[in-house]
Amino acid sequence: MAKGYNRRNFLLRVRDIQDIYMQHHTRGCTDKFIYQNHIYPTYKIGRTTFYNYLATPAVKELKELEERMRLEREERARQLSMFREEESDSFIK
């Protein structure tokens, strides 16, 4: 679970950077200008990392990850626990 959580934070950061890029790119700003004035001051990442983030399919991966996390939560909710009071009371009676 911890690895998925870290991946989720990474993908959220990538999606934020992609959103900022798309906002300014549609106005005709160059990649270098967007990086220097909007991305680097906030995120402190290198240009190569910036371009790698732009190439990452973050929205698709986020959907897949959240679906996997939802299924894991549902699976955990269906499992019986020997420590829950509601379940242990029914066995005592």
Chain mean pLDDT for the chain = 87
- Sorted by where each begins, the domain ranges of the chain are 2-92
Residue 2 CB partners (closer than 8 Å, separation 6+): none
* pLDDT tens figures, 6-25: 889 999 999 999 999 999 99
Closest to 22 (Cα-Cα) out of 54, 61, 58:
54
Instruction: State residue 49's pLDDT score.
Output: 97
**Low pLDDT (below 50) residues in the chain:** 1
Instruction: State residue 76's pLDDT score.
Output: 84
Instruction: State residue 67's pLDDT score.
Output: 93
Instruction: State residue 43's pLDDT score.
Output: 96
DSSP summary character for residue 38: I
Instruction: State residue 86's pLDDT score.
Output: 61
